[in-house]
Structure 1
């Protein structure tokens, strides 16, 4: 069965490619502010950068559970994308109004809102929020920063990012296989809460490094005193919109992989990307 024999599915895949291979979030932020943001990120003191990385990791840990529990598990329910952007903008306005220090207090709130919006999109694509694989896929979205010509080759490309998260989990996969061998067939699909928590914690630690790069851009922009509450709200809305797009593309691809097979969709995805580059 070929996806090209199903026009709507092929159209969905092309839209997913357009979303996932879009300019990076840092590039979009630079466009919003009217000037490159990379220099401001590099100018952040090392102590601040370390604090940001720690705050990002803590925020992802806190948001994963809180966001998923706050949504009803109703696959195919339409996503409330505008509502989540409104929540994020409100959070950003508060952070912007009270300055740089308040951004660390605002980060867990805005990250939870973004995680909730990602899970909302996953649900709208028909995924079960109680499924551990769905929870893992929601966290993976935050490793996706989009493409930029200035990015290192290892940081770009949707399937390269997925390869990164897959490699991250290989050791735990071995542990899970050993557990399944001891407990019998099907054990791998029956993770205990402790095992699931350990698995997600390792993934979050790795994803946080990539998510922290984009959050540093946000901090650098909002640390400018004249930015104020309005731009803080706009930046948060931009971030939420971006990760909603990443989630829509990611879960569309995963839905199509379930239907047509991983290798088949990956091949068609890469063919579409090649055509875009030539065109």
Structure 2
């Protein structure tokens, strides 16, 4: 932890924090997709046939499992330590993946979602590095995975007791991240079915599943097609890039000023 310099945030830092709060507390993926397709996205996995619902949950679990492997095995080894994050590259690749999904229909979700999820994770990691995160740390790599749980979303669709609000989500996940970090440091990734890792992935999946259901609902609109699928996936990754930028901005400010001061300042700001 960097020593506190002056005990308060500068005007520039407050502006950064205000923008982070606007993203983290207000800008959900459903609003973005509604703008794109011109109709409200009010999706729920429970509205799908049982077989489809099970297939999507399996795809979500598989995607986050692969993302966990990538986060813990490779993110800390990337030689690109500085410079601007490669956001456009990841967005273009996600668009290509979404074009295939849009052209072939929702049945491709099992193949397309893991690809999109890993692309998003690598983009998130680039943003984390650009904000000063040390990705040799297991905790920092899991903080990248945590971004998948940060969509402000619709609380009525989240099937657990997780509180709504950025710091509430972080607090609710703190024990799972701590336990998973300690397990990996001690045992490595020899057993991905270990309870600390399963609990972490499950908690992230509860919130990520809401976003995925909204994405699938948009892609299911008959006129979407390949071009629409590419746009939806671009919105999908762009959304998580924004969440990551806000999340890691706050973590940077916390390293400089301490968590308590940043959280207090966050609470006093309007969402904008």
> Does the pair score TM above 0.5?
yes
Corresponding position of 2:95: 89
Matches within 5 A, 1:131-210: 131-146=137-152, 155-169=163-177, 172=179, 176=182, 190-194=185-189, 198=194, 199-210=196-207
| Superposition TM-score, scaled by structure 2 size | 0.85
Partner in structure 2 of residue 80 of structure 1: 86
Residue matched to 1:180: none
Q: CA deviation at 1:42?
A: 5.3
TM-score normalised by structure 1 residue count: 0.83
Q: For 1:12-41, what per-residue CA distance to the aligned partner results, in whole angstroms no more than 9, with x for missing partners?
A: 222222221232112221222111121575
Displacement of 1:7: 3.0
Q: Deviations over 1:214-248 (max 9, x none)?
A: 10111122123332001100000001000001100
Q: Which segments of 5 or more consecutive residues in structure 1 lack a partner in the other structure? A: 177-187
Map 1:23-102 onto structure 2 (within 5 A). Answer: 23-38=27-42, 43-66=47-70, 69=74, 72-102=78-108
Contact 2:163 2:172 in 1 (8 A): no
Deviation at 1:73, TM superposition (A): 4.2
- 8 Å Cα contact 2:250/2:262 also seen in 1: yes
What are the Cα deviations for residues 39-81 of structure 1, in whole angstroms up to 9, with x where unaligned? 5755322332222112111111112333672672444421111
8 Å CA contact 2:67, 2:117 repeated in 1: yes
Contact map agreement 1:142 1:210 (CA 8 A) in 2: yes
Bigger mean CA deviation after superposition, 223-232 or 193-202: 193-202
User: Measured at CA, do residues 11 and 76 of structure 1 come closer, stay the same or move farther in structure 2, by a change above 3 Å?
Assistant: farther
Task: Assess, with a 3 A threshold, how the Cα gap between structure 1 residues 57 and 72 changes in structure 2: closer, same or farther.
Answer: same
Moved more, 12-21 or 234-243: 12-21
Residues paired across the two proteins, number: 261
Aligned match of 1:218: 215
Q: Distance in 2 between matches of 1:140 and 1:24?
A: 16
Q: Does 2:244 correspond to 1:238?
A: no
What's 2:3 paired with? Answer: none
Tell me if the contact between 1:99 and 1:223 (Cα under 8 Å) persists in the aligned partners: yes
d(CA) in 2 for partners of 1:89, 1:24: 19
Per the alignment, do residues 73 and 191 of structure 1 end up closer, same or farther by CA in structure 2, a change over 3 Å counting?
A: farther
TM superposition shift of 1:147? 5.0
What is the aligned counterpart of 1:105 among 99, 102, 111?
A: 111
Which protein is richer in helix relative to its size? 1
User: Which of 258, 261, 269 is the matching residue for 2:258?
Assistant: 261
Q: 1:193 to 1:125 in 2, by over 3 A?
A: same
Mark the CA change 1:44 to 1:79 in structure 2 (over 3 Å): closer, same or farther. Answer: same
In the aligned structure 1, how far is the partner of 2:34 from the partner of 2:88? 23
Q: Which has the larger radius of gyration?
A: 1
Q: What's the offset of the Cα at 1:251?
A: 0.6
**1:94, 1:160 → 2: CA distance?**
37
Q: CA deviation at 1:144?
A: 1.1
Q: Distance in 2 between matches of 1:123 and 1:113?
A: 16
**Aligned counterparts of 1:214 and 1:189: Cα–Cα separation in 2:** 28
